[in-house]
Structure 1
């Protein structure tokens, strides 16, 4: 089979290429998926350059998302020919991932693709869409309604941010988007943002422990100063979710938003969360949360387009979602 393989060629030196390698075989309670589509995420890009926090074993096939059909199964739960997907767990990190024609997966990681959505569409969502859906769901479950007030979305042109905006817009929320890309303002308005704030204007540090109340909820994808400033501006009884660290893994804040305004900060993990929770999110994304602007955020590429796309992701130039079509 053909696969996108990353190899370690020296100390802190890695190379990647499309290679012909042996097709994996099923062992106990495993599934081999014939891949139709995969996608690209920031974590995939880090894996491709040997980031030790993501991948430690090489040679290695990237791809933390995959969709396709069951080609071989030793599990009583899945039958040959069923449409399935996998996101998260260890796939694409230290287990071979979805950037290949076939991938072998523990059956406990596998979810079924809802009938109402195609493989291409569900990979446009992928881990980014799942994370966005889990974030939106936390706002709703914690009582943040469209009439509660504006929702702030950081990292708005990225995969999680852009999908979160599109979902929120469909559900009737008013959205303020933050981005560092002036040239993408029209894109953000097209997918549903009502107001756009440029990153440099929002990241200006304030020594005040609290700022004026502006947002009922926040979906943060970047961490660092952005999240710290957002917390200071959340309305009483508001909610912030956090899922990323592209700005920084550190959060320098104070307790005032939490003890004076009752703000809640909720972490979002789409990697190890229960399969039942993932399946419920996929069902929503395939039905009432399915977004009309999905095609406007897709960048479809073949296996041999992955390397250039990784460069865009790592340099912060990526917009929307990269979907990888796997040819037979």
Structure 2
């Protein structure tokens, strides 16, 4: 039995992506074999496929940090042939073959069942980015940031995490301010998703003073670096920032002033090793909260042959919303 996969190899320190026909015998070890229906393209996938980030250490590798599919066979009692399952994170697509292939074999602990209310296609329109966004929103809620507190800022709002976060916050009744570097191109989409105002990213790329005017009750940051520093300096007293990305850099040129004078909390959010109960709850909330308008406004579908060019685009900040990969 053979299957089609996007395979990454390294030649002369360059990452080469090619579509290959592989035999089932080369699938890695695991408890559950899945016929993959869809994967999706995330920023981390873009870095891996283009070789612009040190995401992959061993080659060959099948990228794709998430997927949805149907169980073919399983040695774990939790999953039976015919079950629909979703995988996000756990190093899949980085150090274990991932979702950009027609078949995957993985550890059963990494899977969750496809929750009621989601089709396989829609689950990958959400994907890792959407799961991360839901965890960020939940983190703000856990910090006591309610809609009555004031505006919530979302940086990188045109991207995968940001676009889902805007939609989720709007559905929960928050006033959302969306930061994007492509306001002219993406402002209408973000408004449709629920943003009340659109802010140019350039306003957040200047060096921040230790403290600036208090503007935001809460924030979700996908960018890091100067943008996150600027956001922290503008948080309300008792505000909270959920940080989950580093598209602008992993440094943080700030001071302790927002934390000790305004009681601001910076809450890190990781979806890769999120425990099963929290992960399943987040998927269930996503199925209930995301409106149909999100799936039509912020998602598009591509074939495996288009992934390499899309990977280049996403690392250049040229992808809007979510890119679904049909296997």
TMscore range, shorter length? over 0.9
Does residue 261 (structure 1) correspond to residue 262 (structure 2)? The answer is yes
The number of residue pairs the alignment matches comes to: 324
SS at match of 1:60: coil
CA distance in 2, matches of 1:45, 1:123: 16
Greater shift, 230-239 or 178-187, is seen at 178-187
SS at match of 1:249: coil
Question: Contact conserved, 1:26 with 1:72, CA < 8 A, in 2?
Answer: no
CA distance in 1, matches of 2:290, 2:263: 29
Report matched runs for 1:25-36 at 5 Å.
30-36=31-37
Gaps of 5+ in 2: none
Q: What is aligned with 1:248?
A: 249
Q: What is aligned with 1:164?
A: 165
* Cα RMSD for the two superposed structures: 1.5
Report matched runs for 1:177-216 at 5 Å.
177-181=178-182, 182-206=184-208, 208-216=209-217
Question: Contact conserved, 1:35 with 1:103, CA < 8 A, in 2?
Answer: yes
Show CA shifts across 1:76-126 (max 9, x none).
111111110100011100111000110000111011111211011110110
Show CA shifts across 1:50-73 (max 9, x none).
356310111111100000111110
- Following TM superposition, by how much is the alpha carbon of 1:184 offset from its aligned partner in structure 2, in angstroms? 1.4
Question: Contact conserved, 1:152 with 1:176, CA < 8 A, in 2?
Answer: yes
Question: Contact conserved, 1:210 with 1:233, CA < 8 A, in 2?
Answer: yes
Report matched runs for 1:168-317 at 5 Å.
168-181=169-182, 182-206=184-208, 208-290=209-291, 292-317=293-318
CA distance in 2, matches of 1:266, 1:290: 27
CA distance in 2, matches of 1:103, 1:196: 40
- Following TM superposition, by how much is the alpha carbon of 1:23 offset from its aligned partner in structure 2, in angstroms? 1.9
- Following TM superposition, by how much is the alpha carbon of 1:201 offset from its aligned partner in structure 2, in angstroms? 2.0
Question: Contact conserved, 1:50 with 1:56, CA < 8 A, in 2?
Answer: no
- Following TM superposition, by how much is the alpha carbon of 1:316 offset from its aligned partner in structure 2, in angstroms? 1.0
Q: What is aligned with 1:6?
A: 8
SS at match of 1:285: helix
Question: Contact conserved, 2:39 with 2:324, CA < 8 A, in 1?
Answer: yes
SS at match of 1:17: strand
Show CA shifts across 1:18-45 (max 9, x none).
1100125888861011111110101111
- Following TM superposition, by how much is the alpha carbon of 1:180 offset from its aligned partner in structure 2, in angstroms? 0.7
Report matched runs for 1:68-217 at 5 Å.
68-181=69-182, 182-206=184-208, 208-217=209-218
- Following TM superposition, by how much is the alpha carbon of 1:129 offset from its aligned partner in structure 2, in angstroms? 0.2
CA distance in 2, matches of 1:296, 1:218: 23
TM-score (norm 2): 0.95
CA distance in 2, matches of 1:291, 1:177: 20
SS at match of 2:23: coil
Show CA shifts across 1:105-152 (max 9, x none).
011101111121101111011000000000000111111111110000
CA distance in 1, matches of 2:310, 2:152: 30
CA distance in 1, matches of 2:245, 2:101: 26
CA distance in 1, matches of 2:53, 2:298: 30
SS at match of 1:21: strand
Question: Contact conserved, 1:24 with 1:102, CA < 8 A, in 2?
Answer: no
CA distance in 2, matches of 1:148, 1:197: 20
TM-score (norm 1): 0.95
When residues 132 and 122 of structure 1 are mapped into structure 2, their CA distance, relative to the original with a 3 A threshold, is same
